[in-house]
């Protein structure tokens, strides 16, 4: 039986209207055309300085698109989109009260016709997500086995997939630092979008100093935000964690030096080890 859980920190913004596709394409980091083949898209709206302001999953609907994102930023993005649309024939709606987001541990077919199901575009190992109206919740949940948010967190950490607001600070992190280039969150051949010049420059100069790494410890890890450091050097900041497993955003050169020297590395006084995600194309250097 497929396990599922409601992701109560996620919500849905709806973008509809004849110009909905063109409107989004001119703003987001990824190419909306990919959605025809993949069924869903992972993307962000950047600041003019090229840092991730909002990130979301995009799913097509019969009338436009759903954007599934962190609930805490949805009202801000609603206002931002309202400013950007100008004369575009686009309607924007905050569906926080009428729709819920679920995670399913594996991809499956369900008998709830109004549920919008889509694979997690960041990794095939992260199962399936669903957007369901409150009115359809009972029908959607029938035949599924409930699990907990920790089950989703453990799955995400085991495949080292980072999330904004948990593993890196929104508004202060470049897409390359959050590994967008490796988890299909950015397209380097599409047309212009907000912050594109900075992203393109980082891609071609290959000067990404900070990246996501895996953290492990024999003890439960401290809260997100704890400093990752040696006795003499600050390496980075701890992100999501569960018991002895977590992710962190670190300076690769400093971490590499510490590892080469055999220095002990700590997170808020707890001894840890650092390693690279299995999908990483970067190294500690």
Q: Helices (H) and strands (E) in the chain — how many of each?
A: 7, 16
Measured CA to CA, the distance from residue 115 to residue 134 in angstroms comes to 10
Whether residue 16 is found in the same domain as residue 148: yes
Whether residue 147 is found in the same domain as residue 34: yes
The residue with tokens 């401290």 is: 222
* Global confidence as pTM: 0.95
Task: List, for residues 222-270, the tens digit of each pLDDT value.
Answer: 999 999 999 999 999 999 999 999 999 999 999 999 999 999 999 999 9
In a domain, 75, yes or no: yes
> What pLDDT does residue 205 have?
80
> What pLDDT does residue 28 have?
98
Domain boundary among 91, 124, 158: 158
Measured CA to CA, the distance from residue 118 to residue 262 in angstroms comes to 44
Measured CA to CA, the distance from residue 169 to residue 152 in angstroms comes to 20
Whether residue 151 is found in the same domain as residue 214: no
Number of domains present in the structure of the chain:
2
Return the CATH number at 245.
Answer: 2.40.30.110
In a domain, 45, yes or no: yes
Return the CATH number at 66.
Answer: 3.30.1360.120
**DSSP letter string over 34-95?**
GHHHHS-EEEEEE-TTS-EEEEEEEEE-SSEEEEEEEGGGHHHHHHHHHHHTTT---EEEE-
In a domain, 48, yes or no: yes
Task: List, for residues 39-96, the tens digit of each pLDDT value.
Answer: 999 999 999 999 999 999 999 999 999 999 999 999 999 999 999 988 899 999 999 9
In a domain, 270, yes or no: yes
In a domain, 129, yes or no: yes
Lowest average pLDDT, out of 112-121, 149-158, 159-168, goes to 112-121
Whether residue 142 is found in the same domain as residue 14: yes
Q: By residue range, what is the domain housing residue 88?
A: 3-158
């Amino acid at each position: 039986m497929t396990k599922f859980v409601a992701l109560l920190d996620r919500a849905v913004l709806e973008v509809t209207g004849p110009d909905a596709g063109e409107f989004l394409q001119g703003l987001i980091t990824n190419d909306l055309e990919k959605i025809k083949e993949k069924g869903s898209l992972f993307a962000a709206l950047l600041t003019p300085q090229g840092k991730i302001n909002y990130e979301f999953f995009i799913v097509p609907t019969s009338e436009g698109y759903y954007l599934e994102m962190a609930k805490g930023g949805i009202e801000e993005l609603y206002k931002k989109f309202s400013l950007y649309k100008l004369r575009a024939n686009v309607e924007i709606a905050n569906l926080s009260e009428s729709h819920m987001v679920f995670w399913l541990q594996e991809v499956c077919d369900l008998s709830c016709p109004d549920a919008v199901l889509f694979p997690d575009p960041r990794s095939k190992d992260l199962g399936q997500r669903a957007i369901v109206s409150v009115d359809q919740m009972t029908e959607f949940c029938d035949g599924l086995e409930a699990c907990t948010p920790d089950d989703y967190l453990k799955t995400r950490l085991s495949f080292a997939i980072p999330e904004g607001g948990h593993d890196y600070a929104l508004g202060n992190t470049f897409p390359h630092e959050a590994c967008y280039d490796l988890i299909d969150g950015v397209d380097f051949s599409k047309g212009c979008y907000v912050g594109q010049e900075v992203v393109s420059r980082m891609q071609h100069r290959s000067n990404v100093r900070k990246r996501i790494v895996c953290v492990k410890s024999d003890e439960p890890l401290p809260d997100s935000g704890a400093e990752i450091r040696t006795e003499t050097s600050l390496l980075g900041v701890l992100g999501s964690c569960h018991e002895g497993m977590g992710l962190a955003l670190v300076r690769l050169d400093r971490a590499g030096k510490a590892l080469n020297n055999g220095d002990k590395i700590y997170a808020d006084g707890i001894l840890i080890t650092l390693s690279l995600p299995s999908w990483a194309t970067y190294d500690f250097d």
